[in-house]
Amino acid sequence: MKVITVSIRRSLLSLLFLLGIVTSLRAQEFKFTTSVSSNRVALDEPFQIQFMLENGTNVTQFTPPNFNDFELLQGPNQMQGTSIVNGRRSDYIALIYLIRAKRVGNFTIPAATARVNGDVVKSNPVTVEVLKGNNNAAAQQQQQHQQVPVNPFAGMGQRSAPSHQAEEMEGVLKNGEDINAKLKKNIFVKVDVDKTSLFEGEQLTATYKLYTRLPTNASVTKVPAFKGFSAKDIELPNPPQASEEMVNGIPYRVFVIRKTMLFPMQSGTLELDPVEVDNHVRLVKLVKNGKRRDPMADIFNDPAFKDAFNDPFFDDIFNRPEVEYQDVPYKIQTAPVKVTVKPLPIDSRPASYNGAVGRFNMTATVDKNNLSTDDALTLKVTISGQGNVNLLNAPKVDIPASFDKYDPKVSDNIEKNSNPLSGSRTFEYVLMPVEAGEQTIPPVEFSYFDAASKTYKTVTSKPFNIHVTAGKQTKREKEDFSIYKNAITNNSNSVLNWVKHNTYFITSIWFYLLLMLPLLALVGAWLFRRRLDYQQNNAAFLKHRYANKVALKRLELAARYLKEGKDKAFYEETSRAVWGYLSNKLHVPFADLSKQLIQDKLAQQQVGEQYTADLFDLLDNCEMALYTPNHNNTRMQGTYQQAVQVISKLEDELTRAKSAV
């Protein structure tokens, strides 16, 4: 039987149902069939029985057969839809029960009856062979899961119709069973991390999973913030695919809520935030002695026929009376997971390291090697590999000062849904040469930390030799608001006087010599002047002293006689000295001397009368002492003094008289 089942939302479903009823029934052939998923089943193995009403118009009643030898686990589940087989369109209503055999043996499930268009129709009976419980029950069950994969997250936060045999089986709440214990056992969320100890910047993959054995509508209410991490989500298939996982020997259906690549940004113990999931678990409650009612009659006889399909108990319309559904809200969250982040080793860290962790390769290219200063070149650095590609910083490029550098343009090419994260990041530096000549851009260096080998690795490009020619530089001139306003002045090309000014005259010896020289002249002049003044002011005194000296010299011999006490010789000598002096001074021969002549001469030279008198007095004294023989030392002394005075005075008088003439 080739049937394309269409699982859609209920409103659409009911609309289709109506359309099917209205449009395409008359022409189609009516069929009412019973089918089982397997004719050979094991004891305790649940299996499916399906009653299919094809192209039935005005279905008003449906009575399932009596499952005497079987235990009803769940159902009925209703499916409606349209199938196109060989270009022929047919509408169908399917009612599915999940049942389990109670005993071993061959059993025939009798036909179900339905009232279609007022007629009672019967389906075919089915024979089922029940074998003893075997081990491949689980395997068969698994097959069944794959047959009908229905996802609780198909419409996240919205209700969807769960119809999974295993879930339905678990979803049966037996009498006396505790709801909370059952939920706890059958639904939980868990976070899986691929490592709990890693380096800063190393990738960590965290997977949040929902494990369930119950039909549930789940919605994520709290999303983890990942404090301390840089997070990148892996896109999940939409609608999500369930997988099977055994936990303690019990199979669970597992849905991945979120899968994130995390890159720790700091070291220390970091905690992954819990994720919170709100579940609405649909449990089936068995009510043993419930009142039997006919839901078909209730529903299809309802005047608001269409509205009946939106009724929350729509699913229940074919319910057997002893089965009831219960929606149980259940909030679960993951246990927080602690991750130890180790800091990157510092001692061996290269200078060019700036945060890359993983395994990378780097290429650096320039788009041209020959250009003028009017042109620009692009240095393109591409870092590709696995690791925190999304967090790569621009490698430091030592652009020479002869280029104007602009901030790099960053473009990413990250492989979609790659885990570990891989891809490339490209940095484009636009460089404007400002100087002509052979320029060298030093090698670009990029370092990363290889978490696998726990070492730093450095990739270095080749240096780039750029030949820059002088351009016209018309562009730059235009940028200036006015000439010389924002530009430096032109160079001076004049001929300079190449003299160094680093010798200082003030520190040379010449400075001080030249200062000393006039000082010497000044001292010389002062000395000269002093001498002049001396000569002018003290001439008289000097002369008097001279005269005195002359007298003393003349009386030298007399002084000796005076000491010796030879009075005769003394007087003689004193007399002779005075006469000798006068002869010398007045230019008269010694023999011609006489008192009268001396008097005349002295008068002639205008010597004062009293000097002349003193002179003659002295001469008289000497003559008298010569011829009077009384010896008197005191008188000799007086005479000597008198002689000195007379000669000195005469000398002074004569000099003065001479200068006066």
Partner 1 sequence: MKHIVTTILLCLLMSGTRLLAAPAPQQQDFEKANSLFRQKQYTEAANIYQRLVDEGFDQPELLINTGNAWYKANRTGLAVYNYEKALLSDPFSKAAQHNLSIANQRVEGYVNELPQLFFQQWWTAIKYMHAPNGWATGTIIFFWLTIAGGIVLLLRPTLLPAVVKSATGILGLLFAFYLFMAVTTYVNATSHDNGIIMGSAVKVKSAPDQDSKDLFELHEGVKVQITDGTSEYCKIELPDGKTGWMACGDIKKL
CB of 515 to partner 1, least distance (A): 6
Q: Using alpha carbons only, what angle is made at residue 430 by residues 427 and 433, rounded to the nearest 5 degrees?
A: 145
Distance CA 599, CA 608 (A): 11
Near partner 1 by CB under 8 A: residue from 470, 539, 597, 603: 470
CB of 440 to partner 1, least distance (A): 12
ω before 237 within 30° of 0 (cis)?
A: no
Calpha distance 518→522 (Å, rounded): 6
Exactly one of 501, 509, 629, 660 binds partner 1 (CB under 8 A); that residue is 501
| Nearer of residues 175 and 494 to partner 1, judged by Cβ | 494
Residue 536 binds partner 1 (CB under 8 A): no
Provide, rounded to whole angstroms, the least separation between the CB of residue 503 and partner 1: 8
Q: Say which DSSP state 391 is in.
A: G
For the bound state, the minimum distance from the C-beta of residue 471 to partner 1, rounded and expressed in Å, comes to 8
Q: Which of 496/591 has CB closer to partner 1?
A: 496
Asked if 495 is part of the footprint of partner 1 (rule: CB under 8 A), the reply reads yes
Alpha-carbon gap, residue 622 to 636, rounded angstroms: 9
Instruction: Quote the CA–CA distance of 325 and 319 in Å, as a whole number.
Output: 9
Nearest-CA neighbor of 22 among 58, 49, 68? 58
Please give the size of the binding site for partner 1, defined by CB under 8 A: 43
Q: Smallest distance from the beta carbon of 406 to partner 1, in angstroms?
A: 14
Contact flags string 345-384 toward partner 1, x per CB under 8 A: ----------------------------x-----------
d(CA 491, CA 489): 7
> Which residue, 156 or 434, is less far from partner 1 as judged by CB?
434
Out of 502, 536, 596, 634, name the contact with partner 1 by CB under 8 A. 502
- Please answer whether residues 287 and 236 qualify as being in contact, where contact means their C-beta atoms are separated by less than 8 angstroms: no
Q: Does 519 bind partner 1 (CB under 8 A)?
A: yes
Amino acid making up residue 359: R
Judge whether 102 and 130 are in contact, CB under 8 Å: no
Which of 71-79, 166-174, 268-276, 516-524 is the region at the interface with partner 1 (rule: CB under 8 A)? 516-524
Q: Which of 74, 66, 61, 167 is nearest to 121 (CA)?
A: 61
Site for partner 1 contains 638 (CB under 8 A): no
Nearer to partner 1, 271 or 404 (CB): 404
- 172-173 and 126-131 beta bridge pairing: unpaired
User: For residue 165, how many other CB atoms are within 10 A of its CB?
Assistant: 23
Of the candidate residues 481, 484, 541, 627, the single one contacting partner 1 (CB under 8 A): 484
By CB under 8 A, name the one of 504, 536, 596, 660 that touches partner 1.
504
- Under rule CB under 8 A, residue 305 binds partner 1: no
Cα 441 to Cα 54: distance, rounded to the nearest angstrom:
79
User: Alpha-carbon distance 205 to 248, whole Å?
Assistant: 24
Residue pair 20/111 in contact (Cβ under 8 Å)? The answer is no
Distance in Å, CB of 455 to partner 1, minimum: 30
Q: Which of 27, 346, 351, 506 binds partner 1 (CB under 8 A)?
A: 506
Pick from 494, 536, 537, 596 the residue near partner 1 by CB under 8 A: 494
| CA atoms of 568 and 333, how far apart (whole Å) | 162
Query: Is there binding between residue 406 and partner 1 (CB under 8 A)?
Result: no
Say whether residue 486 binds partner 1 (CB under 8 A): yes
Closest separation in Å from C-beta 523 to partner 1? 10
Among 68, 453, 491, 536, binds partner 1 (CB under 8 A): 491
Among 90, 163, 279, 402, binds partner 1 (CB under 8 A): 402
Let me know: does 115 contact 58? Beta carbons within 8 Å: no
**Residue 257 near residue 275, CB atoms below 8 Å:** yes
Question: Toward partner 1, which CB reaches closer, 120 or 514?
Answer: 514
Q: Are 578 and 623 in contact (CB under 8 A)?
A: no
Closest approach, Cβ 520 to partner 1, in A, equals 9
**Cβ distance 296 to 60 under 8 Å?**
yes
With the C-alpha atoms ordered 133, 138, 142, 145, is the resulting torsion angle positive or negative?
positive
Residue 303: CB atoms within 10 Å:
6
Cβ closest to partner 1, residue 223 vs residue 532: 532
Torsion of CA 538, 541, 546, 551, to 10 degrees: 180
Binding status of residue 522 toward partner 1 by CB under 8 A? yes
Contact region with partner 1 (CB under 8 A), list: 244-252, 389-397, 484-492, 580-588: 484-492
x/- track of binding to partner 1 for residues 417-456 (CB under 8 A) = -----------------xxxx-------------------
Q: Which is nearer to partner 1, 490 or 596 (CB)?
A: 490
Using CA atoms, how far apart are residues 419 and 433, in angstroms rounded to an integer?
A: 42
Cβ neighbours, 10 Å, residue 315? 16
Nearer to partner 1, 503 or 630 (CB): 503
Answer for the pair 419, 205: CB distance below 8 angstroms, yes or no.
Answer: yes
Segment interacting with partner 1 (CB under 8 A) among 2-10, 506-514, 558-566, 570-578? 506-514
Name the token pair of 385: 């590999």
One of 305, 406, 526, 590 touching partner 1 (CB under 8 A): 526
Q: Answer yes or no whether residue 521 interacts with partner 1 by CB under 8 A.
A: yes
d(CA 276, CA 459): 44
Residue 541 touches partner 1, criterion: CB under 8 A = no
Beta bridge pairs of residue 126: 109
Please, which residues have CB within 8 angstroms of residue 511's CB and are 6 or more apart in sequence?
505
CB of 462: closest distance to partner 1 in angstroms? 22
> What is the contact surface with partner 1 in residues (CB under 8 A)?
373, 401-402, 404, 434-437, 470, 473, 484, 486-489, 491-507, 511, 514-515, 518-519, 521-522, 525-526, 528-529
